[in-house]
Structure 1
Amino acid sequence: MTSQSRTTRIGLIIMAILAIGTGIYPFVFAFVKGAQGLFTTKPESLLQTSWYIPMFLTHVLLGAVAIIAGSTQFFESWQRSRLKLHRTLGKIYVLTVIPSGLAGFVAGFYATGTWYSKAGFICLAIGWVVTTVIAYTSIKKKDISAHKRWMMRSYAFCFAFVTFRIYLGLGAAMEIPFDDYYSYLSFLCWVPNIIFIEWHIAQLRRTVQTV
């Protein structure tokens, strides 16, 4: 194993740990009494409706399952040795992304903050669902290469669950007023992820071309 591949593997392990840790958090948020999270920033009239909290919990809980199920996809040797499990996790990922993404799309219209806060979360939900559907249709057509590329893009959107929490924590640690930075997170939590994954895909294509 080269130092580069060793570094890459360490990075992937850290990413998986962060994904699993972030995936567990929504279950604490949902089932531990007094854990209100971002509900404290919502108007009481919205929280009193019969649909908002169930829809929001659908988004975060299924999103948590998706981020855990998808966290194994970058370990190719693991996939090859456990192909059946990989396919099962892939199905779980797709079946949780669709309802979570659709619920996130609706929730985006009620996001805390400015209009661009809402726009960022709405775009995130659309991008997540669209890339996942394309990844799924690609594998149904036996186009493994396209499937891998689109799954990377899908998980870049999914990983916004992690980066969002990191940025929230950094903002709190730096004692920045919540209203001063929260609206920017709706784009900041996923745009850098997509830029990075597109760069990574381009690097993989160059590697294949030079072999």
Structure 2
Amino acid sequence: MKNDKKRKFTVGAMYFIIGFFTIYIFVMFILNGVEWAPMVKGKMKNPNFSLTTWKWFFYPHILLGTISLAIGPFQLTKKSQRNPKLHKMLGKIYAVAIFINILMVPYLSLSATGGIGTTIAFLVLNVLWLWTMSIGVLRATQRKITAHKEWILRSYAITWVFVTFRIFAIPFSLFLDSSLAFPIAVYLGIVMNLLFVEWRKPKNKKLPQGEKSERQIPSYK
């Protein structure tokens, strides 16, 4: 019962953050118009920057990113774990959303705020995204369920950089130039998210064997 409460609290907290983040994205880039966003105004100073082309990549990027974020916490719930068909279907949507998004990132990175440092940071993030997601899918096809669970959680940690990057970038930008603030925010988000997943993993392994075998996916308890 105590573990169930912890799980519900964790999932609820994640959805609260995702909801707040979604509202921020909607207001900043859709309601106000993407061309009025501070980071886009900076890009428009570049004569080689095409706002129209950029929008074709950016809007699918934030939509698919939000879908991926929203699916993750639900996959940790018992409702998903007890419904294999639903779990598998959402897993496929999650994987496809990420793989399509991976194709969008290189173009968006070329005009990233902060210059070449930020471009490299986002490309590193993209490689990690592709790596963790690909291994997660591969392990699923090989029916190596334990390894599949671990790599999917790592892929979700990378997906969560979609949120943590902005959490770190905003305060860093107050006292650092964007050429430093943005790359640092990306790398810090990657490291902290992956460390959190790895930190929680040993605790999952210490649980009684009977409880562990009943799970469909690992959860943060």
**Band of TM-score, shorter chain:** 0.7 to 0.9
Is 1:13 matched up with 2:23? no
C-alpha distance in structure 2 between counterparts of 1:167 and 1:39, whole Å: 18
Unpaired segments of 5 or more residues in structure 2?
A: 213-221
Would you say the 8 A contact 1:109–1:122 is kept in 2? no
C-alpha distance in structure 2 between counterparts of 1:182 and 1:84, whole Å: 40
2:62 aligned residue (60, 63, 74)? 60
Summarize deviations over 1:1-51 as a string: whole Å, max 9, x none: 23x663454233212321243245444455324344321231442432653
Structure with bigger RCO (C-alpha 8 Å, 6+ apart): 2
Residue in structure 2 matched with residue 122 of structure 1 by the alignment = 123
C-alpha distance in structure 2 between counterparts of 1:111 and 1:208, whole Å: 47
Residue in structure 1 matched with residue 184 of structure 2 by the alignment = 184
In structure 1, what residue type is equivalent to 2:109?
A: G
RMSD value, Cα? 2.8
Go from structure 1 to structure 2 and tell me whether the alpha carbon gap of 1:7 and 1:168 turns closer, same or farther (over 3 Å shift): same
Go from structure 1 to structure 2 and tell me whether the alpha carbon gap of 1:151 and 1:20 turns closer, same or farther (over 3 Å shift): farther
In structure 1, what residue type is equivalent to 2:21?
A: T
Q: SS state of the match for residue 189, structure 1?
A: helix
Go from structure 1 to structure 2 and tell me whether the alpha carbon gap of 1:71 and 1:21 turns closer, same or farther (over 3 Å shift): farther
Q: Structure 1-normalised TM-score?
A: 0.82
Residue in structure 2 matched with residue 201 of structure 1 by the alignment = 201
Unpaired segments of 5 or more residues in structure 1?
A: none
In structure 1, what residue type is equivalent to 2:111?
A: Y
Go from structure 1 to structure 2 and tell me whether the alpha carbon gap of 1:137 and 1:160 turns closer, same or farther (over 3 Å shift): same
Identity %: 26
